[in-house]
Amino acid sequence: MQPLLSIEPSLLSSHITGFIEIDTQAIAQNLKTLQAMLPYSKCAPVLKADAYGFGLKEIAPLLRSKGCHSFFVAHLEEALILRGLLSDSHIYVLSGLLPQTADLFIDHSLIPVLNDFGMVKSWVEEAHKLSKELPCVLHFDTGMRRSGFDHTDLTKLLDTIELIGILDIHFIMSHLVSSQDSQDPLNQKQKKLFDALRDRFPKVPSSLADTGGIYLGPEFHYDIARPGKGLFGLYTPPPGTPTLLSCLKLMGRILQIRTARKGESVGYGATHVLTRDSKLATVGIGFADGYDRRLSNKTFMVIKGFKAPVVGRISMDYTVIDVTDVPESLCYAGGWVELVNDILTLDTLAHSIGTISRELSTGFGKRLARSYK
């Protein structure tokens, strides 16, 4: 595993206007927390979408070094990158076996999640060609209506169950719809459907729980759990349950400080009008960097513990904050502000604009420098 780099803001190149600091120790601690909740189940991280935006190339070797042997990604292109990083791990591809991709799965020892009867037939044909068992996962839809065997394909499979005798089924799986809400009756409804499917495959391991499913309790854990967002602190656990650490800080550089008078407006559309004579700072991060435009006039940044409200609309490259109440010695052109930190988390920001933290974490732009601490 390559050493991970940590950068102090003062050591960054003078042209850098924004950077993300990712705390790998916090990620490792979150993994440990989740594993402790799974005493009888394996923990197989989900690293789709570039590890939820945290960086697949840096995070996958870290988790492997902490004892993880199986991983999930969404698409085949992600699996090929991950295989280049991990030579000895099980890599499962959730989107399954698309036409003309079988050779890539076989050549790179990747494992498809079979989502319909057509995928099963194609994988069986490949197994017969090679005269050997091929590994796979069977995914059954118990309520998501997104992927997995529907009623029609399930009937076809059960009517020709001998067809899959040549396949090495690692486990069967389904995906919870509302695991973040422990009181939602859909959780028990899906579990009941999943248990009925498990009865049809009595010797095959099972997987149902995502991060939220882990927090639903042991009855949802089965043999394999698939945490994703929880590893990166992008999930707020229920009160009284093990907590997860925030893993990310987003920093932006102050480009300019200016004064403005009471009654003057700030930014596109004049959505904020100053109620006093003010001191404003322009920060070199905007929605092109993933600082969501919906946060306009709704959040704040932090300068050495002092809150500075975002005023006016966030534009593509810049955000304006009101630094009137920040000591002058702490606020200067070239200085740094915190847009996301351990208190002002992605979850907090996401909730304030009616979205989820994963939308924010996967939206960070390429201009942002990165450091791994």
Same domain flag for 211 and 118: yes
Report the pLDDT value the prediction gives residue 2, as an integer from 0 to 100: 33
Tokens of 46: 């989900």
**Given this model, what pLDDT does residue 280 score?**
98
Tell me how far apart the alpha carbons of residues 7 and 348 are, in angstroms, rounded to a whole number.
Answer: 25
Asked if 268 is an active-site residue, the reply is yes
Residue 44 neighbours by CB distance under 10 Å: 22
Residues of the chain with pLDDT under 50: 1-6
Asked whether residue 332 is assigned to any structural domain, the reply reads yes
Between the alpha carbon of residue 357 and those of residues 76, 82, 91, 121, 149, the distances in Å are 24, 23, 25, 38, 29
Question: Catalytic residue among 42, 48, 229, 249, which?
Answer: 48
User: Half-sphere exposure of residue 152, counting CA atoms within 13 Å on the CB side?
Assistant: 3
* pLDDT score at 9: 63
373 has catalytic annotation:
no
Question: Measured between alpha carbons, how far is 293 from 316 in angstroms, rounded to an integer?
Answer: 8
- Quote the domain boundaries for residue 115: 24-232
Instruction: Record the pTM.
Output: 0.94
Picking from 302, 299, 259, the residue whose alpha carbon sits closest to that of residue 277 is 259
To which H or E segment does residue 171 belong?
A: strand 167-173
Check which CATH number belongs to the domain holding 96 and give it.
3.20.20.10
Residue 2, domain member (yes or no): no
Q: pLDDT tens, 174-220? A: 999 999 999 999 999 999 999 999 999 999 999 999 999 999 999 99
| Cβ atoms of residues 267 and 288 within 8 Å | no
Q: Which residues contact 368 (CB under 8 A, 6 or more apart)?
A: 18, 19, 20, 250, 285, 289, 290
Same-domain status, 286 and 221: no
Same domain, residue pair 163 and 308: no
Co-location of 97 and 202 in the same domain = yes
Whether 282 and 327 share a structural domain: yes
Measured distance CA(107)–CA(123) in Å, rounded:
14
> What pLDDT does residue 7 have?
52
Instruction: Report the domain count for the chain.
Output: 2
Shared domain check, 226 and 314: no
pLDDT attached to residue 11: 62
Catalytic residue among 268, 298, 304, 332: 268
